[in-house]
Amino acid sequence: MSRGPALGAPALSDPLSRERHRILHAVQDRLDDVAKTAVAVMRTEIPSYALQDERFFDDVRDQVLTHYRMQLAALAGGRDIAPEDLVFSRAAAMRRARAGFALEDWISAFRVGRQVLWDVLLDCAGTSAEAQQAALSLVTPLMRYVDFASTHAAQAYVEYQQHVVADADRERRDLLDQLLAGAAPTRGPLLAAAQAYGIGPHSPMMAVVAVCVGDTRTGDLTSAEHGYATSASIGIAGPWAGRTLVVVRHGEVVAVPVVRTGMDAEDICTHFEAVQRRLAREGTMLSMGISTVAEGACELPRAYEEARAALDLVPSGGGVAALPRLSPFDYLALRADDLARQLVDPRVRALLEEDRRRGDTLAATVRAFAEADLNLRLAADRLRIHHNTAHYRLRRIEERTGHNPRRIADLLELLVALAIRDGAGEGGDHQ
């Protein structure tokens, strides 16, 4: 069986040994007051403790007294501390973890208890050289005890948190599986979980699917830990109140944000685009697809498939494809295959490639002309160029390609060619 630290007295002269026992007995006589002092200091120095009631502090006082008695008995009797001696402390650590206290607060309580006990030991020792030397002989065993006890407490915290995380992950996965089957839970723990995320049978929601495609700092392919980092970042509330259901599954991160009152699909898209950019700056590059709005759980399977399909629109280097921001024309152009690209007039394809290398001025003119409803003067104003310059550009396009942008059919073919070119991911990230 493993043993704890040796807390017995080192080889001391008889006078020092007597001084050591005198000090320990003096502290023992004041132990109740010492414990009360330690609890009072914890209450002052640990903010989360200050908010608790007297029942909590009764428990803390019992813990402090038990630790003090064990240390003093070991120091006086020359025995070691065994792990089974600290079962009471592990149980208390689990109670604190279950109540939501941070591990650093629990460790701070150990620090306070040690300091208060040491101050009392020095006070009981007195000022003689022999007493001071006897007190110093207690420093190492006291530190060993605190290290040993706090390590056991930390292990209890970790064990509890591992169970909590595993249970929470399982619950989120079960909830997502039911939602992706087209039904919202109606009873039991999954209903409570759904309500915690604001999800009801008829709640408007969207599906977001993200996959890690690389590390922006090293260029390495990302590991599973990036998925959990992504999950944690997405789970943080955005411009809305409440949490978002986020699950890591099958190599992808799936989020189900609810479109709450006062929000629209654009708010969701903006938030997740910001998440993608922030994670890219921190080292995790994502490809992210965002669905249209599902009106209730029955439509969520369709939204999930949309989000997965949207991933195909993201360039290989990562980015965001948000379907609510795309027109049917944009979507069809972005989904174009190699055959569609081959069907583009070679003259148009050659001109657009050349134009891109020169700054895309002709492409910008075509787009502005279409957006201005074929009003060339308005298009020129929006481009901040003279209308004669805009007229020259349209004439040059017609001369080079045989397509007159003033004719609807020709203009449409030019716009399709532009959308196919840009959708291929050759001209930069597509958002």
User: What is the CA angle 195-201-204, rounded to 5?
Assistant: 90
Q: Express each pLDDT in 235-248 by its tens digit.
A: 555 555 457 888 88
Q: List Cβ neighbours of 299 (8 Å cut-off, separation of 6 or more).
A: 182
Residues linked to residue 321 through DSSP beta bridges, in sequence order: 289
pLDDT of residue 315: 79
With pLDDT > 90 as the criterion, what percentage of the chain qualifies?
Answer: 30
Burial class from Cβ neighbours inside 10 Å (0-12, 13-18, 19+) for residue 351 reads buried
Average pLDDT of the chain to the nearest whole number: 82
Query: How many angstroms from the chain centroid is the CA of residue 388?
Result: 54
From residue 60, give the alpha-carbon distance in Å to each of 32, 52, 136, 140, 154: 13, 11, 28, 25, 17
Least confident of 72-76, 116-120, 320-324, 368-372: 72-76
Res. 147 pLDDT band, cuts 50 70 90: confident
The larger pLDDT score, comparing residue 168 to residue 65, is at 65
The larger pLDDT score, comparing residue 157 to residue 70, is at 70
Average pLDDT over residues 9-20: 77
Contact 45, 112 (CB under 8 A): yes
Res. 87 pLDDT band, cuts 50 70 90: confident
From residue 190, give the alpha-carbon distance in Å to each of 126, 193, 300, 400, 425: 63, 5, 17, 63, 41
Q: Which domains does the chain have, with CATH numbers?
A: 14-164 (1.10.490.20), 189-326 (3.30.70.270), 335-424 (1.10.10.2840)
Least confident of 127-136, 164-173, 373-382, 405-414: 164-173
pLDDT of residue 226: 53
Residue 224 scores a pLDDT above 50: no
Q: In angstroms, rounded to a whole number, what is the distance separating the alpha carbons of residues 182 and 173? A: 14
248: left (phi over 0), alpha (psi -120 to 50) or beta: beta
Q: Express each pLDDT in 407-425 by its tens digit.
A: 988 888 888 888 778 765 5
pLDDT of residue 385: 92
Highest mean pLDDT, choosing among 6-10, 162-166, 314-318, 370-374: 370-374
DSSP state of 251: T
Look at the pTM and tell me if it is higher than 0.75.
no
pLDDT of residue 431: 43
Would you state the structure tokens that stand for residue 393, as one six-digit string?
């550009």
Helical pair 408-423 and 361-371, crossing angle rounded to 10 deg: 130
Average pLDDT over residues 371-391: 91
pLDDT of residue 2: 47
DSSP state of 212: E
Residue 427 scores a pLDDT above 60: no
DSSP state of 384: T
